[in-house]
Amino acid sequence: MNTKKVFTGTLAVSALFMAGITVKADDAVAPSVEVSANGAVNLVVPDDADKVITDTDNQVKYQVDDAVSLDSTTGGDDLTAPVTVDSQVTSDDGNVIEGVTTYTADLSHAVVVDDNSSEDGFGLGAISLGNLFGTKVFAADNTSSNSAWDSSLGVELSIEVYWTKTVKSNVSYGVVTKVTGGFSRKDTTISVTSSSVFVASNSNLTSQQKNVSEGTSSSWTISPNYKSVALTGNYQLGAKYTADLKRGTSSKWSVTVNDNVAGGMVRPY
């Protein structure tokens, strides 16, 4: 008695969505399926495979080089990348066989293709991702901290500024993303009566600054939600923390700590 096998499958494709890039995967070859006279299923790696990773009756996994092309629509680099095909049988009840095939593009091994479709041999790791979009963008997150004691050495203020620097088309930009700080008392006869934090990301064209009251809080966090400013001409990125102090009823003074991460001294524009 002949057994009729019904095959159902799910195709899972790792999608690549990039602005200014069209992605093609026409050359990623699916495995073939062989069924023997007794109904046994065998997945077969195609001849186009460049590297076989797994090859069993119920699963095949292999790599096809240059299977995906990433063509820039904005004048950037055109790339090709290998695709890993993983196909396996997920269930077989004797009548119906189900399976899944996944195509995964590996951009870490993408290479640039010139106008003659020859490979230059540069891995994606040597290319700025911004090059794909016609502009170079580099970014780095930074932190800077500072502390200061008051004149009596009884109260210490501390501050830490988190900021990001980016370089786009050879122009540097920066922005303060978060500021944390607080105070500690070695002399408990001194009290903090009020405090404030001035946070700035200013440039010639953009003024972003605020003075935040922190009252008597011994620790605080501020997220200013500023935009990046060009680090050219007159600019200032950083924060200033000031606390008003008192001992008894008549002795009053203040202490300030600055943390300037880029440009000139932080002050109101």
For 58, the 3-state DSSP assignment is coil
Determine the Cα–Cα distance for residues 233 and 243; give it in Å rounded to an integer.
Answer: 31
pLDDT confidence of residue 28: 47
How far apart CA 85 and CA 139 sit, in angstroms, is 33
| φ/ψ bin of 248: left (φ > 0), alpha (ψ from -120 to 50), beta (otherwise) | left
**Given a cut of 80, is residue 161 above it in pLDDT?**
yes
Helix (H) or strand (E) segment spanning residue 139: strand 137-149
The residue-averaged pLDDT of 42-52 equals: 83
Higher pLDDT, 5 or 102: 102
- How crowded is residue 109: how many other Cβ atoms within 10 Å of its Cβ? 14
CA distance 243 to 74: 53
Domain chopping of the chain, boundaries: 6-133, 137-263
What is the topology classification, in CATH, of domain 137-263?
Immunoglobulin-like (2.60.40)
CB neighbours of 123 closer than 8 A, spacing ≥ 6?
108, 109, 110, 111
Taking alpha carbons only, the member of 209, 210, 201, 208 closest to residue 164 is 201
Helix or strand (DSSP H, E) at 99: strand 96-105
pLDDT tens for 108-145 read: 666 665 443 434 433 333 333 333 333 344 556 788 99
Nearest to 239 by CA among 198, 211, 191, 196: 198
User: What's the CA gap between 78 and 124, in Å, rounded?
Assistant: 11
C-alpha distances (whole Å) from 75 to each of 67, 108, 114, 181 are 22, 21, 12, 46
- Which of 40-44, 79-83, 101-105, 125-129 has the weakest average pLDDT? 125-129
Helix (H, G, I), strand (E, B) or coil at 20: coil
Question: Measuring CA to CA, how many Å separate 214 from each of 37, 126, 219, 241?
Answer: 80, 46, 9, 10
Look at residue 125 in the predicted model and tell me its pLDDT.
38
37 pLDDT above the threshold of 90: no
Average pLDDT over residues 227-236: 88
